[in-house]
Amino acid sequence: MTKALYIGYFTGVAGQSIGLFYIGDGVLAGVDVATMQYDGSYSTKPDGSLEGVVEYVLPAGTALITGAPTGVAPTRVVVKLNLPADFSDGRVINIETPLGPVNARFEKIKDILS
């Protein structure tokens, strides 16, 4: 998979969000408008899909797009991630998180050259 920057548009039952992500060389890293930082890894399967894990920390008292309440202290969340090959083709992808489902759509912004 080519290293690239992606913009992610996210929708849940209680709102919307947007984030910027680097995906390449088995690394997934990003940040969203709620200041959550994402850190993950993935492997590319033979069919071109991506399978991995991403972690992020929810700041205390943050309003979540899933509508789930946050705690009084920062909380680490781990999400298994499965993205189809060509995940940035405009399709909506359902991501199941421990705090509820999120619909995501990704657009490639720019390839990153080595």
What's the pLDDT tens digit per position in 40-64?
999 999 999 999 999 999 888 888 9
pLDDT band at 71 (very low <50, low <70, confident <90, very high): confident
From 37, 36, 39, select the one nearest 26 (Cα to Cα).
Answer: 39
Task: Determine the Cα–Cα distance for residues 21 and 2; give it in Å rounded to an integer.
Answer: 13
Quick check: 103 pLDDT over 90? yes
With beta carbons less than 8 A apart as the criterion, state whether 6 and 107 touch.
yes
